[in-house]
Amino acid sequence: MNHLQPIAPPSRASLFVTCLADALLHPVARAARQVLRAQGVTVDLPPDQVCCGNALHKTGRTGAAARVGAAWVRAFAQSGDIVSPSGSCVAHLRHNLSELLTSRPEMAHLAPQAEALVRRTYELTEYLHQRLGLTRLAGARAPSRPWVYHPSCGLHRALGQDQAPYALLDALPGRPRLELPRAERCCGFGGPFSVSHHELSGALLGDKLAAAAEAGAQVLVVGDVGCLLHLAAGARARKLGIEVVHITQLLAGEVA
């Protein structure tokens, strides 16, 4: 993480929306753009952006993952900093993209360009806190209801990033964050894992929602788009009265 050096003043960033946000979670993508703009960052949306290949890689389809990754490199070729609301997608790009391209002779020439792009690719909270050096954000406020934060595996484990989200959340004016029991335990999503190991996935989901209820939370803030879909569906099915939101929506001041 030694490439994450604060810059001033904020300039321009390309928003990498991700497949899930594009297909199912438009409010998360809009909130990410709003948060960046509120901090003075000029945001562009490369029109040819595609999937990063994360799910393909997780299911062993490395050839397809490499082809999609090559398309991602071409789509962001002219970008400076690249910011995404998905820690799992950023982790895939950071840890796997170059190796996937290098393993395919017809794509190996893109690996150096991919490495340069990935060095400028950030999950939203690490961009705000560690790249821009921010803690208090314009327009951000804590929910008025009791709330907890679930650190997604993509952000917490795969990126090793805990400082940034907690620093931003704990600086929010208003009601303080409650401690989530067993916070670092997976919520059970894991992309294809939730399908291939649905019983274990469901057990982890139930435990995470029980932990939020145990804390007395009415709002559960999550750090990744897949976790949001998984936990929100579980909370609705169980009629828990817990609203599940993405951290970008909270930082955009959209959660009452």
Q: For 98-123, what is each residue's pLDDT tens digit? A: 999 999 999 999 999 999 999 999 99
The answer, yes or no, to whether residue 49 has pLDDT greater than 90, is: yes
Cis peptide upstream of residue 9 (ω within 30 degrees of 0): yes
Q: Which helix (H) or strand (E) holds 91?
A: helix 87-102
Q: Rounded to an integer, what distance in angstroms lies between the CA atom of residue 113 and that of residue 102?
A: 11
Helix, strand, coil shares, percent, the chain, to 5: 50, 10, 40
Q: What is the mean pLDDT of residues 6-16?
A: 75
Place of tokens 């997976």: 186
Residues in the chain, overall count: 256
Q: Rounded to an integer, what distance in angstroms lies between the CA atom of residue 10 and that of residue 131?
A: 9
pLDDT digits (tens, 9 = 90+) for 195-208: 777 888 889 999 99
The answer, yes or no, to whether residue 148 has pLDDT greater than 70, is: yes
Amino acid at 241: G
pLDDT value at residue 1: 41
* Mean of the per-residue pLDDT values of the chain: 92
Sheet order of strands, 12-15 included: 42-44, 12-15, 81-84, 121-123
Domain boundaries, the chain: 12-131, 147-251
Specify the pTM. 0.92
